[in-house]
């Protein structure tokens, strides 16, 4: 299976369980792995045989910048679901959602969740 990778998408959102996380925006960084057969796109050089990267980014932004959620797990799952709904050629979507300013009382370089959803048809 072929893969399109989009890494380092940065958004501002209000996700978290604590009241202070809902008051001021915080950064969320997304890495996407979109799995699909790209042989037709490579052979035809035609955008209609792949996924539009800009549209992928807009859909991801709508989720991350949209309704505040308690858990980044919920946000990542929602991104997966939205992309699978929008792009029929996708066999699976993997999302890594980073929350670099998570309210943790220890030094850390990153906190992230990674999940993959596979199309079942």
Identified catalytic residue from 99, 101, 108, 120? 99
Measured CA to CA, the distance from residue 108 to residue 102 in angstroms comes to 9
Other CB atoms within 10 A of residue 8 CB: 8
Contact status, residue 97 vs residue 30, Cβ threshold 8 Å: yes
Instruction: Judge whether 99 counts as a catalytic residue.
Output: yes
Other CB atoms within 10 A of residue 56 CB: 22
**Phi, psi for 71 (deg, rounded to 5):** -115, 140
Contact status, residue 36 vs residue 90, Cβ threshold 8 Å: yes
Report the catalytic residues.
Answer: 99
């Amino acid at each position: 299976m072929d893969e399109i990778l989009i890494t380092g998408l940065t958004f501002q959102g209000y996700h978290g369980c604590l009241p202070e996380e809902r008051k001021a925006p915080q950064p969320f960084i997304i890495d996407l792995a979109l799995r699909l057969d790209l042989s037709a796109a490579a052979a035809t050089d035609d955008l209609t045989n792949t996924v539009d990267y800009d549209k992928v980014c807009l859909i991801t932004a709508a989720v991350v910048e949209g309704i505040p959620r308690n858990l980044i797990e919920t946000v990542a799952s929602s991104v997966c679901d939205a992309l699978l709904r929008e792009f029929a050629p996708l066999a699976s979507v993997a999302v890594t959602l980073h929350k670099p300013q998570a309210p943790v009382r220890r030094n850390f370089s990153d906190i992230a969740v990674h999940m993959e959803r596979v199309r079942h048809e």
